[in-house]
Amino acid sequence: MRNWYRIHTALQLAIASLRAHKLRSFLTLLGVIIGVSSVVIVGAAIEGLGNYAEETTSKVFGSDSYQIGQLLQRGRLSRRERIERLKYNHPIRLEDFEYLKQVTGRSVMYSPYRFRAEDLHMGNQLLESTTIIGVSANMAEIREVNLTDGRFFTEQEERSKVQVAVIGDEVKQFFFPATSPLGKSIRISGFDFTIVGVQEKIGNAGGQSQDNSAFIPSTVFHRLYGPDRSLLLFARARPESGLVLDEALDLTRIALRNRFKARPGKPDNFDTMTPDSIREFIGRIMGLIGAVVVPITAISLVVGGIVIMNIMLVSVTERTREIGVRKSLGARRGDLMLQFLMEAVLLSAIGGLIGLGIGAAVAKVASIISGVHLSVTPLYVGLALFVSSTVGIISGWYPASRAARLDPVEALRAE
């Protein structure tokens, strides 16, 4: 009961002191407010961008598909490693694609994936640097290409080299903002292509829009632009095969190792990439950003703690006579410690809550403006409040200890 009375009294005295010096209290709070809101905003941005990258990865690469190519993991390799891998790895040719279909095609679906930038024309309108992608008809199933209108082209259209296209959302909005584009034509490299479908909006990936694009049959792409030195293949287990991604990937690897005569015990002389490896890479990048940026923003909390300590030291000096009166009336060292410590903790707690609210509000506004959901996670909320509370206790401890050690006689003499 006595302990509760001491805490209640200390809290009342702390609140009265803060009210008596409103401007000073507000200026003291600013450091903590800025620090906590910075941590929350940065944490929300890292979490939101990580989720956005993962969602975009699923849309761009598919959730259960994988890729085969001569060199895919460019961002993880140094220039020297890339040169060595290019020398060691075999390019994937059109005949290798046909070989994989023949050997493992009953269990795995394959599609070539070639692309280049071309300007699109329709009448007097021009859309520059559209990514033209040549794929097989089963790409819609392999990569889970979702359409908002129309359909994907068929195997018959692919075999017959019919000039049809499935356009991205940005192409649709540019040429046909208010009407359906189905059945209408656009010109690619001087040839008319009939639009049969519209892909759903994806967004940006790797700093490049994924919506300024058009899928055309790989056979038509090959006729327009000729053969390529090396293909990129997308693959996925057929639903009826019962295989999971890793099992389908193993089938592909075994077939290609046999074809390229890879020696036992040696690494693959080609490259593969799965969605999990892409997510892992993105996760590492985001983790690295968090490890660098969050501590930097947390420094502002330390600065806020130093401000609180300085203000509390000034407060102790100003209230020396008050401390002497309290001691002469029987206040113990612990009572004075608790009073000044309570003031510091109260300042940091109020600043932490205000900073949390401001950080959440800024993250919400940024989400609306950017279109990326910046989620305020419990981890960063807990981190910000824990650090602000710790800063308050540490920064208040020394001034409180100094106040508690004052000699009552000397304190009463203070002016």
The amino acid at residue 41 is: I
Residue 372 phi, psi (nearest 5): -105, 125
Give the pair of three-digit tokens for residue 202: 């994806």
- Give pLDDT tens digits for 204-251: 665 677 889 999 999 999 999 988 788 899 999 999 988 998 899 999
- Give pLDDT tens digits for 258-305: 999 988 888 888 998 887 776 776 677 777 777 777 677 667 667 766
The terminus-to-terminus CA distance of the chain in angstroms comes to 36
- Give pLDDT tens digits for 146-171: 899 999 999 999 999 999 999 999 99
Distance, in Å, from the CA atom of 253 to the CA atom of 273, rounded to the nearest integer, reads 12
- The residue among 366 and 184 whose pLDDT is bigger is 184
Distance, in Å, from the CA atom of 205 to the CA atom of 62, rounded to the nearest integer, reads 13
Q: Locate tokens 């490259």: which residue?
A: 271
The pLDDT of residue 324 is 59
- Give pLDDT tens digits for 352-362: 788 888 888 88
Give the three-state DSSP class for 336.
Answer: helix
Return all residues near 51 (Cβ < 8 A) that are at least 6 apart.
373, 375
The pLDDT of residue 287 is 72
Nearest to 348 by CA among 360, 356, 338: 356
pTM of this structure? 0.65
Residues above pLDDT 70, as percent of the chain: 73
Largest CA distance in the chain: 103
Number of DSSP helices (H) and strands (E) in the chain, helices first: 14, 12
- Give pLDDT tens digits for 112-147: 999 999 999 998 899 998 999 999 999 989 988 889
